[in-house]
Amino acid sequence: MKYSDYMAAMQEDDGSVDTADPIAAYEQGIEDLRTAVAGMTAAQVQDLLYRDCGLKGLSGLSNDMRELQTSADPRAAFAVEYFVYRVGLHAGMLAAALGGLDAFVFTGGIGENSPMIRALIAHKLGWLGAALDPDANLAQGPLISQRGRVALYVIPTDEELMIARHTLATISARHRPQSARMAMA
Higher pLDDT, 29 or 11: 29
Window from 26-40, 94-108, 115-129 with minimum mean pLDDT: 26-40
Local confidence band at 166 (pLDDT 50, 70, 90 cut-offs):
very high
DSSP code for 176: S
**Sign (positive or negative) of CA dihedral 64, 68, 71, 76:** positive
List, as own/partner pairs, every contact residues 5-13 make where C-beta atoms lie below 8 angstroms and the sequence separation is at least 24, other chains included.
5/57, 6/30, 6/33, 7/48, 7/49, 7/52, 7/53, 7/57, 8/53, 8/54, 8/57, 8/58, 9/58, 10/53, 11/49, 11/53, 11/54, 11/57, 12/54, 12/83, 12/86, 13/54
Residue 15 has pLDDT above 80, yes or no: no
Tens digit of pLDDT for each residue in 129-160?
Answer: 999 999 999 999 899 998 889 999 999 988 89
Tens digit of pLDDT for each residue in 71-102?
Answer: 999 999 999 999 999 999 999 999 999 999 99
Cis before 74? omega within 30? no
Give how far the C-alpha of residue 2 lies from the chain's centroid of Cα atoms, to the nearest Å.
24
For residues 79 and 116, give the distance between their C-alpha atoms in angstroms, rounded to a whole number: 14
Tens digit of pLDDT for each residue in 49-68?
Answer: 788 878 888 888 999 999 99
Local confidence band at 19 (pLDDT 50, 70, 90 cut-offs):
low
For residue 54, count CB atoms less than 10 angstroms from its CB and return exposed for 0-12, middle for 13-18, buried for 19 or more: buried
Strands (E), 24-167: 103-106, 151-154
Contact 62, 55 (CB under 8 A): yes
Q: Which of 132, 108, 129, 107 is nearest to 119 (CA)?
A: 132
